[in-house]
Amino acid sequence: MHNNYYFLRPLSQSLDALLRGTVISECFSQNKDELIIRFETHTDPFFIKASLEPAFSCLAFPTNFHRARKNSVDLFPILIGQRVASVRCLENERSVALTLSNDLTLLFKMHANRANVLLFEQNAVIALFRNNLPADEGLDLSTLDRTIDWSYEAFEQHQGNLGALYFTFGKVTWRHLAEQGFDTQPPDVRWQMIRQVRALLSKPVYSIAEAHGTVYLSLLPAPNTVREFTDPIEAINEFFHTYTHRAAFVRERQSAVAALREKLKGSESYYQKTFEKLAEVESDTNYKTWADLIMAHMHTLRPGQETVTLPDFYNDQHTVTIKLKRDLSPQKNAEAFYRKAKNQHIEIQRLQQSLETKEKEMAALRHEIATLEAATDLKSLRAEVGRNPIFSVKEKQPVPLPYHEFIYHGFKIWVGKNAQSNDVLTLRYGYKEDLWLHAKDVPGSHVLIKHQANKPFPKDVIERAAELAAYNSKRKTETLCPVVVTPRKYVRKRKGDPAGAVVVEREEVILVEPRLERTN
C-alpha cells in the first residue's frame, strides 16, 4: 500500500509541513528510472528520491545523498530556485503534487508500472521524467482530482462491483475484507465493514509485513508484521530499505535454488537411466546360459558351425538357437560367452555403485535446497552458499577469459565480450595504469590497452584500440565514432548499476573509423 491514496494522503501532509517555504536547489538523475530532488531548508537539506522502475515504484526520503561527479544529468532546470508553496495528495488519486512558485506544479504520479514525474505550468504538462509514457503529455492537472460517492444508496447500487466504486481501497484492503468474510456477509454487515475499514485507513498504523516471500506496507492489521510506525516518512524509508534488500535476497535465493534444482533434475535423469540399464543387464543372462549349454553338449558340436540349436535345461527343455563364431572351436565359443557374462557381472556392480553414489548426491541436493529455502536473510543465505561444496566445485571450474586479445606494435589490447564480461575485464583484469576506452554514449565493449613499464602509450596504438572500441559498439556502421579514452583509475562502478555500466570521472574523446582489421 506504499502507493495507495490512503498512504499518500498523510505522507503529503507530513511533506507539506517539512517542505512549505523550502527552495529546490538540485534536480538530477544518475540512474535510469530514478530522480533526485534536493530542497534547501533552514537546517539540513531534504531529499526526495523517486524510484520509478516498472517493477517497483516508490518514493523515499534519504537523510543525505551524495551526487556522483560524473554520469549524472540535470533535469527540469526550470525547477532550480523555485519555492515550495504547498504539498498535497490529489483527491482519491495516487499522486502527490508540489505546488511551486511561478504557477509550476511538480506531480509524482505513483501508478505502478506507469509511474512518472510530470511538470505542469498552470494545468498543462511542460515536461516528463519518463518520456516513454506519451499519454501523460495530455493530462490536465485541473481534472485529476476524483470523487467517490460514499452514500449507502451508491453502496446498494454497486453490490456487484464495489471494487469499481471504492477504487482507492486497492488489493491489500480488499484482501483484508475477504479474510474477514466480507464476500459471504449480507449487505448491511458488508456496509458496516466498509465503514470500519475506512475508519482504519483514516487513522492508520503503518506496518511492514511479509507474505508469500514479498515485503509490503500495510495500513491495516496484518499478519507476519515485521515493524510498525506512526510516522509515514519513517515508514516509507524503512519499507524502501527493507524491500530493496529483500528483493536482493529473494533474487539470490531463487538463483541458488534454481541452480540446485537444475543439478537435481540432471541427477534424477541419470539415476533413472542407470536404473533402467541395470534392470536390463540383470535380466539378460543369455551369455552364461549359452556357455553352459555349449559345455554340456560339447560332444555333439562340430568345428566351423555358425549356429547351433540345443535343448535348454534352464527353461523346461525348450530349445535355444545360439550364434557361434565359425573360426573358434566350441570350447573357445563357450569361453567367450563366459567372459561376456563376467563382464556383465562387473557392469552390474558398477551400475549399482553409480546408483548408490547418485542417491547420496540427490539426498544432499534436496537437503541443500530445503536449507536455502528456509534461509530468512541475505547474510545467512550467502554464508550457506559460501560453505557448501556444491557451489565451490562450480566456482573451481575453468572460466573463459572475458575478453578477446589483439596485439598491436607490441601492446596488448583487450576487448570485452559482453556486458558481464565488460565488468570483469575493467574491474578485475584492469589496473590503474592501463588505458581504458569505450565508444561514447552508446552500448559497446570496454577496451583496455595494457600498460608496459616505462613505456608511454603510442598514438597509433591508442587509435587502433579506439577503432576496436568503435567497431564493437552500436556505432560500428558509422563513418566516424567518438571514443572515450581515460586511464583505468578514473573508471568506477556504482553499487546497483546494471552490467557494463560505469562512471568515468575524467575523459578525453577522439574520433576514429570503426574497423576490426588494419593493414599496417
- Say yes or no to pLDDT of 337 above 60: yes
- Say yes or no to pLDDT of 395 above 50: no
Write out the H or E segment, with its range, that includes residue 254. Answer: helix 232-283
Compute the average pLDDT of residues 269-280.
Answer: 91
Residue 213 has a pLDDT of 67
Residue 282 has a pLDDT of 82
| DSSP label at residue 4 | S
| Banded model confidence at residue 299, pLDDT cuts 50, 70, 90 | confident
Residue 34 has a pLDDT of 93
Do 10 and 134 fall into the same domain?
yes
Give the least confident one: 141-145, 286-290, 459-463, 504-508: 286-290
Do 116 and 66 fall into the same domain?
yes
* Helix 232-283 / helix 389-396 crossing angle, nearest 10 deg: 80
Do 139 and 11 fall into the same domain?
yes
Q: Helix (H) and strand (E) counts for the chain?
A: 12, 23
Give the least confident one: 145-159, 405-419, 436-450, 506-520: 506-520
Compute the average pLDDT of residues 298-304.
Answer: 87
Do 219 and 130 fall into the same domain?
no
Any bridge partners for residue 439, and if so which?
Answer: 483
CATH number at residue 37: 2.30.310.10
Do 82 and 210 fall into the same domain?
no
In degrees to the nearest 10, what's the CA dihedral of 223, 224, 230, 233?
A: -120
Q: What is the mean pLDDT of the chain?
A: 90
Q: Is residue 476 part of a domain?
A: yes
Instruction: For 200-231, write each residue's pLDDT tens digit.
Output: 998 888 998 887 768 889 898 877 888 899 99
Q: Is residue 344 part of a domain?
A: no
Instruction: For 56-101, write each residue's pLDDT tens digit.
Output: 899 999 998 888 877 889 999 999 999 999 999 999 999 999 999 9
User: Which comes out higher in pLDDT, residue 414 or 312?
Assistant: 414
Q: How far apart are CA 427 and CA 424, in angstroms?
A: 5
Compute the average pLDDT of residues 417-440.
Answer: 94
Residue 50 has a pLDDT of 95
| Banded model confidence at residue 193, pLDDT cuts 50, 70, 90 | very high
* Burial class of residue 348 (count of CB atoms within 10 Å of its CB; 0-12, 13-18, 19+): middle
Do 64 and 169 fall into the same domain?
no
Residue 111 has a pLDDT of 93
Instruction: For 1-48, write each residue's pLDDT tens digit.
Output: 899 999 999 999 999 999 999 999 999 999 889 999 999 999 899 999
Do 31 and 138 fall into the same domain?
yes
Q: Is residue 156 part of a domain?
A: yes
User: Which comes out higher in pLDDT, residue 89 or 176?
Assistant: 89
Q: How far apart are CA 135 and CA 252, in angstroms?
A: 36
Do 177 and 67 fall into the same domain?
no
Predicted TM-score (pTM) of this structure: 0.57
Q: What is the CA radius of gyration of the chain?
A: 36
Report the percentage of the chain scoring pLDDT > 90: 62
Please, are residues 478 and 447 in contact by the beta-carbon 8 Å criterion?
A: no
Q: Is residue 164 part of a domain?
A: yes
Please, are residues 503 and 490 in contact by the beta-carbon 8 Å criterion?
A: no
| Banded model confidence at residue 394, pLDDT cuts 50, 70, 90 | very low
Domain boundary (97, 125, 143) is at: 143
Any bridge partners for residue 121, and if so which?
Answer: 104, 124
Q: How far apart are CA 200 and CA 417, in angstroms?
A: 56
Domain boundary (171, 204, 230) is at: 230
Do 436 and 485 fall into the same domain?
yes
Report the percentage of the chain scoring pLDDT > 70: 98
Do 177 and 128 fall into the same domain?
no
Which domain does 176 fall in, by range? 152-230
Domain boundary (95, 122, 143) is at: 143
Alpha helices in 53-180 (DSSP H): 152-157, 162-165, 170-179
Residue 245 has a pLDDT of 82
DSSP characters over 124-150: EEEEES-TT-GGGGG-BGGG-------
Pull the grid cell for residue 438: 569505450
Do 432 and 500 fall into the same domain?
yes
Q: Is residue 357 part of a domain?
A: no
- Say yes or no to pLDDT of 257 above 80: yes
Which 3 state secondary structure label does DSSP give 503?
A: strand
- Give the chain's domain count: 3
Q: Is residue 390 part of a domain?
A: no
Of 453, 401, 464, the residue nearest 431 (C-alpha):
453
* Backbone angles phi and psi of 507, in degrees to 5: -150, 155
Do 103 and 226 fall into the same domain?
no
Q: How far apart are CA 403 and CA 395, in angstroms?
A: 19
Of 163, 143, 164, 165, the residue nearest 152 (C-alpha):
165
Residue 392 has a pLDDT of 63
Angle at 199 between CA 198 and CA 201, to 5 degrees: 65
| Banded model confidence at residue 380, pLDDT cuts 50, 70, 90 | confident
Q: Is residue 260 part of a domain?
A: no
Q: Is residue 217 part of a domain?
A: yes
Compute the average pLDDT of residues 196-200.
Answer: 92
